[in-house]
């Protein structure tokens, strides 16, 4: 191997601000050769993003960085502001996670790209403009001469990420750091952006440091993978060997906890592996992998075919002003069935789910639950019906009122639905906390004291406490880490078996939908374009949209 | 371009909305002024030292003060419809002419105060926001709290005591040096010297507000992703502050300034009195004392129009600063 371009040794990062304290990176070492694509992979809070920011010294002033970061013979950890500015943007480019917020909203994108050239070169304004047009062309922004004058809000998420990439490669850097560059994007666009990064890396001979939580993604798009947990490197190995030959218990745990499209695992024939990290008294981490058993009663609850239809939605349309978001859509759900609903963002899946729980009113059509018309019943009947259809939201934090203790959050729902006795209410709250696997003491704590996975358990408890028949799960695990995702999916599968629940499971992740659903409906432009049992749909898709989704998932 | 068309549409809409506003202001103003005891004839009589009942009646009928209230209001509207604000008895000239004499003074004072308030506020707020908790932040915080809590007229008086009487640097009042025939730069310097203290005392309260607002915006902007992107591009500190941080802080400031215009105009009345600045505020004060309703109503209308016009302008400025805010 040639001399490394970047060589990180014993990197430590300590946060010391009001918001965050403690050691985030704990002795990380790795090398990147010129032109190589290396991935740092790990779950949220493992220190991978902190490492990326430390490389360019983009962390807050209160943060302390230890160890050495040698880039092309210079130790970045000892450079002054001025020397750092010579590296940033010129020799090392960076692409951030959130394309929605990483561009300045009040400046035209051409201006923002040109700014890099203005800082690092003395090109005149005509030459800068020519270079910006060339860059926009290179990152495949449509109609560069027009879009050079666009403001960020006039572009789609994928296009904005292309603009950020154009900014990062404007000076032909030697190293491009991409911090979760596609996490906020649709799966189809994810693939396009990663292809673009890969093509640019080859064309420009850049090295790439890809930060991600997504194991299949880094396997496909990097040469070498570094697995990080609690700020330490667990394992480093060539990407091709990631799934087949990884040795470390943590890596194996992540691999088994994640669901891949071609696995033949279904919730009816097996649970997902849960990985648990244990810290022994000496401070070392050890990992245990467990695959929870299926509940004994599971076979009895396989879905009966549509003879007992729980929900039937007929010909509904939903409009926001002039725009029709759900267009003459019909679907049926059998008792005890899980219907997976997939589609790109903006296809109307969230609007549909909001309409079913009664948050939105359709402009036409009818919704029947157990044969009873939901839309045309009086207020009292509607409230009674509402108990039976509940919803779990995507963002477990934003959907919990931060000023209420968990006990109040859950108890208030019962009070609203007519339970006057506080002792009775408390009993119900404890019962539901037991069911979702939270300690009873959780009732006395605030939402911000819980981790993402625990908050999602609270979200599930909130839906479950009214003993509904149908729960709509709107992307319930897409904000969660792989290992937590496995725990939540296992929990949902268990709850379904014990309570005889029916689910509508909305997700953009085909692999998870395939694992978790009995039947899958593909939504596109406000309509259901294809509907079949999960396995058949993926093996023999008939609609172009389905094929596109499957292709993007591979 | 569509942008300029939208700006034109917004101006037109603002203008049309101003008509009912002015109507309400005139009607309310007219009746509320009637609640004050006495009228212009009483004042003129008092000024003259004595008057017989006949002269008083004569004066009243000459000015139309003996007519029923509603017909007085009606004739005022009739005058307005012909773009006439009426005639001042005391000054013996049309009200519009009287106001036009004083209006430039008030507008100059207001504009100077706004410019001072925004620029000092931006400066202080940036210094505070870039390094919160350090001593410049602490000192400026205390100062801004001081200016925020002390009334403008008292600040004005103290400025006169300090700068004019103690140090003798600046004049104590007035709009220009009487009797001096100046031109060019000398004229400008003379006006600026007279303007400095009144504008400053009017501005300081708003400096305090804007400094705190800018401080909060800067602190928020610093943690925004796009600022981090800009640092990753290799931008220097000053360009970063100017282009990326202050630009996003300007939005909320403009919205606030737009809302404060009316307050600044109200404050100008007091300040003009303290500094004997020849503006509309002092005219209003004199008009109240002499019960000159036509003059007062005229001032009300012009002030209202001024505030409406400024608000329309600030709406447009805001949409130019932030493309996501569409001019409606």
Q: Name the residue among A88, A90, A106 with its Cβ closest to that of B323.
A: A106
Residue with tokens 């000015």: B63
Q: Would you tell me how many other CB atoms lie within 10 Å of the CB of residue A456?
A: 30
Contact A98 B225 (CB under 8 A): yes
The residue ranges of every structural domain in chain B are 3-95, 98-321
Give the model confidence (pLDDT) of A350-371 as tens digits: 889 888 888 888 888 888 888 8
Task: Give the per-residue pLDDT at A219.
Answer: 87
The answer to whether residues A109 and A161 touch, using CB atoms and an 8 Å cutoff, is no
Quick one: tokens of A522? 């593909």
Mutate to test the interface with B, among A58, A105, A108, A169 (most CBs of B within 10 A): A105
Q: Looking at chain A, which residue has its C-alpha nearest residue B237?
A: A81
Task: Give the per-residue pLDDT at A175.
Answer: 92
Task: Give the per-residue pLDDT at A242.
Answer: 83
> What is the DSSP secondary structure assignment for residue A88, as one 8-state letter?
B
Distance CA B281, CA B276 (A): 10
* Chain B partners within 8 Å of A105 (Cβ): 226, 248, 322-324
Give the model confidence (pLDDT) of B195-219 as tens digits: 888 888 888 888 888 998 888 888 8
Give the DSSP per-residue string, A21-49. EEEEEEEEEEEE-TT-EEEEE--TTSSHH
The answer to whether residues A493 and A313 touch, using CB atoms and an 8 Å cutoff, is no
Residue with tokens 């008057």: B51
Q: Looking at chain B, which residue has its C-alpha nearest residue A88?
A: B234
Contact A85 B234 (CB under 8 A): yes
Contact A104 B234 (CB under 8 A): no
Quick one: tokens of A31? 């090398």
Report helix, strand and coil shares of chain B as percent, to nearest 5.
Answer: 80, 0, 20
Task: Give the per-residue pLDDT at A300.
Answer: 46
* Burial class, B48, CB count within 10 angstroms (exposed 0-12 / middle 13-18 / buried 19+): exposed
* Chain A partners within 8 Å of B235 (Cβ): 85, 89, 115, 119
Distance CA B262, CA A344 (A): 50
Distance CA A279, CA A286 (A): 6
Report helix, strand and coil shares of chain A as percent, to nearest 5.
Answer: 40, 25, 35
**pTM for the model:** 0.75
Specify the CATH class of B98-321 in words. Answer: mainly alpha
Quick one: tokens of B92? 């013996």
B226 interfaces chain A, CB cutoff of 8 Å: yes
B228 interfaces chain A, CB cutoff of 8 Å: yes
**Strand bridging mode A175-179 / A92-95:** parallel
> What is the band of B178 on the pLDDT scale with cuts at 50, 70, 90?
low
A243 Cβ neighbours under 8 A, 6+ residues apart: A215, A219, A255
Residue A21's nearest CA partner among A62, A49, A70 is A62
Determine the distance in angstroms separating the CA of B125 from the nearest CA of chain A, rounded to an integer. Answer: 20
**Strand bridging mode A519-524 / A338-342:** parallel
B13 interfaces chain A, CB cutoff of 8 Å: no
B323 Cβ neighbours under 8 A, 6+ residues apart: A105, A106, A151, A153
Contact A88 B233 (CB under 8 A): yes
Residue A267's nearest CA partner among A41, A530, A477 is A477
Contact B232 A88 (CB under 8 A): yes
Give the model confidence (pLDDT) of B20-30 as tens digits: 888 888 888 88
Determine the distance in angstroms separating the CA of B227 from the nearest CA of chain A, rounded to an integer. Answer: 7
> What is the DSSP secondary structure assignment for residue A300, as one 8-state letter?
G
Query: Any idea what the Cα angle at residue B218 is, between residues B213 and B221, rounded to 5°?
Result: 125
Task: Give the per-residue pLDDT at A296.
Answer: 66
Determine the distance in angstroms separating the CA of A155 from the nearest CA of chain B, rounded to an integer. Answer: 12
Q: Looking at chain A, which residue has its C-alpha nearest residue B131?
A: A61
Residue A37's nearest CA partner among A236, A221, A199 is A221
Task: Give the per-residue pLDDT at A306.
Answer: 47
Residues in chain A, pLDDT under 50? 298-301, 306
* Chain B partners within 8 Å of A86 (Cβ): 234
Task: Give the per-residue pLDDT at A210.
Answer: 92
Residue with tokens 């939208």: B6
Q: End-to-end alpha-carbon separation of chain A, Å?
A: 31
- CA torsion through residues A484, A489, A493, A499, sign: positive
- Is the pLDDT confidence value at B37 over 80? no
What ipTM was assigned to the predicted interfaces of this complex? 0.75
Q: Looking at chain A, which residue has its C-alpha nearest residue B221?
A: A104
* Chain A partners within 8 Å of B241 (Cβ): none
CA distances to A215, A267, A268, A292 from A489, rounded to whole Å, are: 18, 9, 12, 12
* Chain A partners within 8 Å of B3 (Cβ): none
Q: Would you tell me how many other CB atoms lie within 10 Å of the CB of residue B55?
A: 14
Q: Name the residue among A90, A102, A105 with its Cβ closest to that of B234.
A: A90
Quick one: tokens of B276? 């004997």
Determine the distance in angstroms separating the CA of B128 from the nearest CA of chain A, rounded to an integer. Answer: 16
């Amino acid at each position: 191997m040639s001399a490394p371009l970047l060589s990180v040794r014993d990197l430590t990062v300590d946060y010391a601000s009001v918001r965050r304290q403690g050691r985030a990176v704990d002795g990380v070492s790795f090398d990147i050769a010129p032109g190589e694509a290396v991935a740092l992979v790990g779950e949220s809070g493992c220190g991978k993003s902190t490492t990326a920011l430390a490389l360019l010294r983009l962390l807050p002033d209160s943060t302390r960085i230890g160890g050495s970061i040698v880039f092309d013979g210079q130790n970045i950890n000892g450079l002054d502001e001025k020397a750092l500015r010579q590296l940033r943007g010129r020799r090392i480019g960076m692409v951030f996670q959130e394309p929605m917020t990483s561009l300045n909203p009040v400046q035209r994108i051409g201006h923002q790209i040109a700014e890099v050239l203005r800082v690092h070169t003395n090109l005149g304004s005509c030459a800068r403009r020519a270079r910006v047009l060339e860059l926009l062309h290179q990152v495949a922004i449509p109609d560069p001469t027009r879009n050079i004058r666009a403001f960020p809000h006039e572009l789609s998420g994928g296009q904005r990420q292309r603009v950020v990439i154009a900014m990062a490669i404007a000076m032909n850097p030697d190293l491009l750091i991409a911090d979760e560059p596609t996490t906020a994007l649709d799966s189809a666009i994810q693939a396009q952006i990663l292809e673009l990064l890969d093509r640019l890396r080859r064309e420009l001979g850049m090295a790439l440091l890809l930060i991600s939580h997504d194991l299949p993604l880094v396997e496909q798009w990097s040469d070498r993978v570094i697995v990080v947990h609690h700020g330490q490197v667990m394992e480093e190995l060539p990407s091709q060997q990631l799934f087949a030959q990884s040795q470390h218990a943590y890596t194996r745990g992540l691999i088994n906890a994640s669901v891949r499209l071609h696995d033949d695992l279904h919730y009816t024939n097996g649970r997902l592996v849960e990985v648990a990290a244990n810290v022994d008294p000496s401070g070392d981490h050890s990992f245990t992998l467990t695959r929870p058993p299926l509940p004994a009663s599971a076979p009895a609850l396989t879905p009966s075919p549509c003879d007992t239809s729980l929900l039937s939605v007929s010909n509904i349309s939903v409009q926001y002003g002039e725009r029709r978001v759900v267009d003459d859509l019909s679907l049926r759900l059998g008792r005890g069935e899980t219907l997976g609903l997939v589609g790109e963002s903006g296809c109307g899946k969230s609007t549909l789910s909001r309409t079913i729980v009664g948050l939105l009113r359709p402009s036409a059509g009818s919704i029947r639950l157990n044969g009873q018309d939901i839309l045309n019943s009086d207020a009292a009947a509607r409230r009674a019906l509402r108990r039976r259809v509940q919803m779990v939201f995507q963002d477990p934090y934003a959907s919990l009122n931060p000023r209420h203790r968990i006990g109040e959050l859950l108890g208030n729902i019962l009070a609203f639905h007519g339970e006057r006795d506080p002792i009775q209410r408390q009993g119900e709250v404890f019962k539901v906390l037991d069911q979702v696997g939270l300690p009873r003491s959780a009732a006395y704590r605030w939402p911000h004291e819980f981790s993402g996975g625990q908050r999602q358990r609270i979200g599930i408890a909130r839906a479950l406490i009214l003993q509904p028949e149908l729960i709509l799960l709107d992307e319930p695990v897409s904000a969660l880490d792989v290992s937590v995702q496995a725990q939540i999916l296992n929990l949902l599968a268990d709850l379904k078996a014990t309570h005889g629940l029916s689910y509508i499971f909305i997700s953009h992740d085909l692999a998870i939908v395939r694992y978790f659903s009995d039947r899958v409906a593909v939504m596109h432009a406000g309509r259901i374009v294809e509907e079949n049992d999960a396995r058949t749909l993926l093996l023999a898709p008939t609609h172009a949209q389905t094929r596109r989704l499957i292709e993007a998932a591979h | 371009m569509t942008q300029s068309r939208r700006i034109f549409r917004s101006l037109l809409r603002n203008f049309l909305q101003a008509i009912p506003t002015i109507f309400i202001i005139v009607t309310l103003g007219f009746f509320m002024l009637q609640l004050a005891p006495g009228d212009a004839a009483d004042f003129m009589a008092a000024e003259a030292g004595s008057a017989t009942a006949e002269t008083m009646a004569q004066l009243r009928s000459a000015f139309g003060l003996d007519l029923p209230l509603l017909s007085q209001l009606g004739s005022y509207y009739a005058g307005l419809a012909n773009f006439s604000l009426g005639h001042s008895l005391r000054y013996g000239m049309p009200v519009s002419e009287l106001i036009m004499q004083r209006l430039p003074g008030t507008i100059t004072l207001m504009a100077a105060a706004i410019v001072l308030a925004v620029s000092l506020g931006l400066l202080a707020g940036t210094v505070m926001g870039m390094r919160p908790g350090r001593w410049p932040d602490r000192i400026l915080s205390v100062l801004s709290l001081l200016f925020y809590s002390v009334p403008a007229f008292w600040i004005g008086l103290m400025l006169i005591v300090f700068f004019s009487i103690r140090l003798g640097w600046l004049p104590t009042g007035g709009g220009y040096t009487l009797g001096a025939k100046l031109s060019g730069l000398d004229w400008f310097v003379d006006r600026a010297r007279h303007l400095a203290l009144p504008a400053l005392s009017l501005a300081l309260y708003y400096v305090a507000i804007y400094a705190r607002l800018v401080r909060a915006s800067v602190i928020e902007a610093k943690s925004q992703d796009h600022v981090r992107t800009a640092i990753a591009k290799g931008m220097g500190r000053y360009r970063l502050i100017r282009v990326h941080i202050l630009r996003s802080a300007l939005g909320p400031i403009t919205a606030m300034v737009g809302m404060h215009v009316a307050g600044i105009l109200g404050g100008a009345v007091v300040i003009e009195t303290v500094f004997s600045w020849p503006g509309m505020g002092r005219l209003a004060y004199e008009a109240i004392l002499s019960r000159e309703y036509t003059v007062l109503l005229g001032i009300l209308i012009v002030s209202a129009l001024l505030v409406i016009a400024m608000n329309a302008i600030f709406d447009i400025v805001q949409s130019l600063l932030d493309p996501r805010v569409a001019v409606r």
